[in-house]
Amino acid sequence: MNWFKTQISKEMWSPYIAGILLGIIGLLAVLLSNSLLGASGAFESLAGLIGKNITPALFSNIYWGVEGARSLPIMRPEITWPVILLVGVFFGGMLGAFTSRTFEFRFNDDAQWKKIIGPQPWKRWVIAFFGAILLEYAAGIAGGCTSGLAISGGMLLAPAAFLFIAGMFASGIVTALVVYGRRY
Amino acid sequence: MANYIIALFLGVGFGFSLNKAGLTKYYKIVNVFRFTDMAVLKFMMTALAVSMTGLYIFRGLGWINFPSVPPTYIVGNLVGGLIFGVGMALTGF
């Protein structure tokens, strides 16, 4: 029991142990709900849901579906299974931080970020905002993000997942090279 | 309804494992692209290996049918991945 307590209160586990846990969660998702874990789709469904309530005409397309059309939308603008999953992820991350007593409100506290990009919180927020737009847009094109396509697709041996991982690492390495310059 | 409760619990487990793997931290994500900390890759590949093995065993036993496999669309998957990598290395999400 004490051993269990020490493990739970560790801030970081071996990535292999955490990976085994995620693998089991991914397996349970298929076994219990016949669904795949994913994060980006939930944001797309939420965006569609909000947009359809504000400007239905603008959001009436093949992506979120057209009223009365026979073909199904690519992203259902509803509270879908992934949306609920995302709510769980929020609390799960919180639980992780609480168990290791590292929960706090942070604005820019990453030592490496401060050294490379600067200590000002606004920089972190602006880059995070535009970077997140890129992420969500890219996930929309590819059909998923790191969890929804790379991991969930990968475990079904979908070729799409491996194409995505290849692209992600190729441009990620180049971007890191550009950002870090001589400090790479 | 039961499906949504399952989703909530699985989400908690998902978020918890991400947090404990340190994937909520900027330096963990960006350092994998600098080859100085490969935790993200170790985490992803372990998860892949575990769930892949389980899925194929379960399917062999006839317990599950595979959910719809993400469609292969070479240009989309690749270009999406390329843009995604830029965002990931910039923000560390």
Distance CA A180, CA A44 (A): 32
Write the CB contacts of A154 (distance below 8 Å, at least 6 apart in sequence).
A161, A162, A165, B48, B52
| Share above pLDDT 90 across residues of chain B, in percent, rounded to a whole number | 85
Tell me if A93 and B69 make a contact (CB, 8 A cut-off): no
How high is the pLDDT of residue B56?
94
The pLDDT mean for chain B works out to 93
Q: Which residue of A has its CA nearest to B83?
A: A138
pLDDT of A55 strictly over 80: yes
Q: Could you write out the three-class secondary structure of chain A?
A: CHHHHHHHCCCCCCHHHHHHHHHHHHHHHHHHHCCCCCCHHHHHHHHHHHHHHHCCCCCCECCCECCCCCCCCCCCCCCCHHHHHHHHHHHHHHHHHHHCCCCCCCCCCCHHHHHHCCCCHHHHHHHHHHHHHHHHHHHHHHCCCHHHHHHHHHCCCCHHHHHHHHHHHHHHHHHHHHHHHHHC
* CA–CA dist A168, A150 (Å, integer): 10
The single residue listed with the structure tokens 């992203």 is A75
Residue located via tokens 């890191």:
A176
CB contact under 8 A, A149 and B77: yes
What average pLDDT does range B19-23 have in this prediction? 93
Rounded to the nearest angstrom, the minimum Cα separation between A34 and chain B is 6
CB contact under 8 A, A154 and B52: yes
Spell out which residues of chain B touch residue A19, defining contact as CB-CB under 8 Å: 17, 21, 42-47, 50
**pLDDT band (50, 70, 90) for residue B69:** confident
pTM for this prediction:
0.92
Determine the average pLDDT of the residues in A97-116: 90
In this predicted structure, what is the pLDDT of residue A58? 87
Per residue in A137-158, pLDDT tens?
Answer: 999 999 888 988 999 999 999 9
Q: What is the mean pLDDT of chain A?
A: 91
Distance in Å, alpha carbon of B34 to nearest chain A alpha carbon: 7
Tens-digit pLDDT profile for residues B35-64 = 999 999 999 999 999 999 999 999 999 999
- Distance (Å, whole) CA B2 – CA A32: 10
pLDDT bucket at B68, cuts 50 / 70 / 90? confident
pLDDT of residue A59: 87
CB neighbour burial string for A82-110, b if at least 16 within 10 angstroms, e if fewer: bbbbbbbbeebbebbbebbeeeeeeebeb
Q: Is pLDDT above 90 for A107?
A: no
The answer to whether the complex's ipTM is over 0.85 is yes
B2 pLDDT higher than 80? yes
Backbone phi and psi for residue A55, each to the nearest 5 degrees, phi listed first: -125, 85
What is the mean predicted confidence (pLDDT) over A73-89? 91
**Residue-level pLDDT at A183:** 84
